[in-house]
Amino acid sequence: MRVLVVEDDPGVREALELGLSLEGHQVRAVDRPKEALELLPWAEAVVLDIFLPEGDGFSLLKEIRARSEVPVLVLTALEEVEWRVKGLREGADDYLVKPYSLQELLARLEALARRARREGEVLAYKDLRLYPRRMEAYRGERRLSLTPKAFLLLKAFLESPEEVIPKEALMRKVWGEVVEPATLEVHLSALRKALGEPSPIQTVRGYGYRLSLP
Query: What proportion of the chain, given as a percentage, has pLDDT over 70?
Result: 94
Which residues lie across from 137 on neighbouring strands?
130
Please state the rounded mean pLDDT for residues 145-151.
93
Out of 35-49, 64-78, 135-149, pick the least confident.
Answer: 64-78
How many angstroms separate the CA atoms of 34 and 10, rounded? 17
Q: What angle do CA 6, 7, 8 make, to 5 degrees?
A: 130
pTM (two decimals): 0.56
Evaluate the CA torsion angle 10, 12, 13, 18 in order and state its sign: positive
How many angstroms separate the CA atoms of 179 and 174, rounded? 10
For 48, phi and psi rounded to 5 degrees?
-125, 120
Please state the rounded mean pLDDT for residues 120-124.
78
Q: What is the pLDDT of residue 119?
A: 63
Domains and CATH numbers, the chain: 2-120 (3.40.50.2300), 123-211 (1.10.10.10)
pLDDT at 171 > cutoff 80 = yes
pLDDT at 39 > cutoff 80 = yes
Please state the rounded mean pLDDT for residues 125-139.
87
* C-alpha pair distances (Å), 138 with each of 10, 68, 77, 161, 210: 46, 21, 44, 16, 18
Q: What is the pLDDT of residue 211?
A: 97
Please state the rounded mean pLDDT for residues 130-141.
85
Using one digit for the tens of pLDDT, what is the confidence trace for 4-33? 999 988 998 999 999 999 999 999 999 888
How many angstroms separate the CA atoms of 107 and 134, rounded? 25
